[in-house]
Amino acid sequence: MIEIIPAIDIIDGRCVRLTKGDFAAKKVYDASPLEMAQLYADCGVTRIHMVDLDGARRSKPMNLATLEEVASKSGVEIEWGGGIADDASLASVFNAGATQAIIGSVAALRPADFSRWLHIFGSDRMLLGADVRDGAVAVKGWVQQTGLTLEEQIGWFLEDGLKYVVCTDIARDGLMKGPSFELYAGLMEEFQGVVFTASGGISGMPDIEELDRIGVPKVIVGKAIYEKKITLDDIRKWSLNA
């Protein structure tokens, strides 16, 4: 069964959700990141997806205290992204307790560094954040468009042992109108040795059931949980059956 990975996006230490990556269209939620992580852990979730949106904009981790608190107190594994731009920032994220690091901008703009990190830290700890808008990879907190396709970017790192890819369809992110099923089906067919995580557009459990049906291994769910389109009970039942 597909693994549900709840998302916690952070600005100034608080849980937020954006729409289509637009910082001007953010919504702030009352629960703290730690409170949300503990709720998910109680539902049987073993991994959460955390994004430092301040870090993504400033190209350096800005919410490491939040990461350290969640990692030390929640009991869940954390895949962390946002602002990891050099060796020092990558080390700081791992030292704060992240299980895996999500690398987007560096992988697109400085692929040699991401290749090196894959060899140093191993493919189990490094996730490629391949985020696409209108067919092209976007970086720097989704504000900078590149001329790079998803397929080109993924292809660069296969010989380096790339294993995990988190792929977000930015045009669907936060809209809760359904994910791009065709996108993930095509990627899985082309790159059969890669484990893909779907992200963006999840509107309810039927979307997750369809992703599961077509064989997507993992899915990130954010706004649909906060807006109660997917309940904690839904997650609990799914986790128990997984």
Tell me which of 52, 54, 131, 207 is the catalytic residue: 131
Distances (CA, A) of 34 to 2, 16, 41, 68, 106: 24, 13, 10, 10, 28
Contact 198, 177 (CB under 8 A): no
Which two structure tokens, joined as six digits, stand for 145?
């468009």
134 is catalytic: no
In DSSP terms, 9 is beta-bridged to 16, 51
What span, in angstroms and rounded, lies between the C-alpha atoms of 81 and 10?
Answer: 10
207 is catalytic: no
Distances (CA, A) of 162 to 80, 95, 165, 201: 17, 22, 8, 25
What span, in angstroms and rounded, lies between the C-alpha atoms of 241 and 159?
Answer: 35
Q: Which parts of 56-192 are beta strand (E)?
A: 77-81, 100-103, 126-133, 136-139, 144-145, 164-169
| Contacts for 95 with CB less than 8 Å, ≥ 6 apart | none
Tell me which of 9, 169, 173, 207 is the catalytic residue: 9
- Give me the active site residues, please: 9, 131
